[in-house]
Amino acid sequence: MYESMRLCETAVEYGIERVAATSHLFAPSDLAEYLPRRNDRILRLREKVEQAELPLRIYPGAEVFVNDDIFYARYLEKVTLNNSRYLLIEFDFHGLSPRQLIHYTDEVFRIGLVPIVAHPERYRYLQRDYELVNFLVQRGVLFQVNAGSLAGRSGYEEFELAYRMVLHNAASFIATDAHSHLGRTNDLLRMIQDFPPGISRESLDYMLYKAPFSVLADKELPPIRRSDIHKHRHRE
């Protein structure tokens, strides 16, 4: 709880007013055990935030690790972002084939939810295959890139893919993906100052405000013009 409160304090310090608490759900089969524990922790965190008089609203969610178990998963609507249609998911970082990735996201659609893929820029297979990103975008898969990747806090390949996705609106969200106030933190305004040039105010407004607010309200995302991304040797 101490770590969570420190992250809440940092969030407020750097201009964040709303956060989705997306702790890891490593296996859908763990849902029955995970859900009450998550709900209890969010409730206690909200109480502490209120006691500290922090102007911060906390919404429930999860970051669901997806593998072949997705085909047998039940009740995933209970861990969507703020009980919406939107499910935040992540995959194995290495060795996933395009066919698997397509089948996994298709299965999320099949059960009536909309997949939001967390930190796509961190997956080696997407770093190598930008066309796969384009294909998934065309199928309606949504992507959430890390602000730290755009700010150059990760490797060059991560930066490059995140940058291309934001430039061409292939991403729909920019998030902190905060894990610790000491390491991967949520000093969002500081990270934004380190973003590379060329990102339009319209795109930032969409990915930081319009699209996230639509998710929290369980509404369709506002339309935005998207275009294919292509790999380049050098930054623009």
In a domain, 98, yes or no: yes
What are the C-alpha distances in Å from 203 to residues 193, 199, 207, 212? Answer: 15, 7, 6, 13
Q: Tell me the pTM.
A: 0.94
In a domain, 31, yes or no: no
CATH number for position 157: 3.20.20.140
4 pLDDT more than 90:
no
pLDDT of residue 186: 76
DSSP code per residue over 3-71: HHHHHHHHHHHTT--EEEE--EE--GGGHHHHHHHHHHHHHHHHHHHHHTT---EEEE--EEE-SGGGG
Provide the residue range defining the domain that includes 185. 69-216
Q: Alpha-carbon torsion 15, 219, 167, 145, what sign?
A: positive
Q: What is the mean pLDDT of residues 99-106?
A: 97
pLDDT of residue 231: 86
Query: In residues, how long is the chain?
Result: 236
In a domain, 13, yes or no: no
pLDDT of residue 233: 61
Convert the pLDDT of each residue in 195-221 to its tens digit: 998 999 999 999 999 999 999 999 999
Structure tokens at 7: 């992250």
Q: What is the mean pLDDT of residues 57-66?
A: 96
In a domain, 157, yes or no: yes
In a domain, 166, yes or no: yes
In a domain, 57, yes or no: no
pLDDT of residue 153: 86
154 pLDDT more than 90:
no
| Percent of the chain whose pLDDT exceeds 70 | 95
* Residues 100, 210: Cα–Cα separation, whole Å: 31
List of long-range contacts for 153-162, beta carbons under 8 Å, 24+ apart: 153/191, 154/121, 154/122, 157/121, 157/127, 158/121, 158/122, 158/127, 159/121, 159/196, 160/121, 160/127, 160/231, 160/232, 160/235, 161/120, 161/121, 161/126, 161/127, 161/130, 161/133, 161/229, 162/120, 162/121
pLDDT of residue 107: 97
Tell me the residue type at 228: D
Count of domains in the chain? 1
In a domain, 77, yes or no: yes
* Residues 171, 165: Cα–Cα separation, whole Å: 5
100 pLDDT more than 80:
yes
Confidence band for 180, pLDDT divided at 50, 70 and 90:
low
* Residues 97, 89: Cα–Cα separation, whole Å: 16
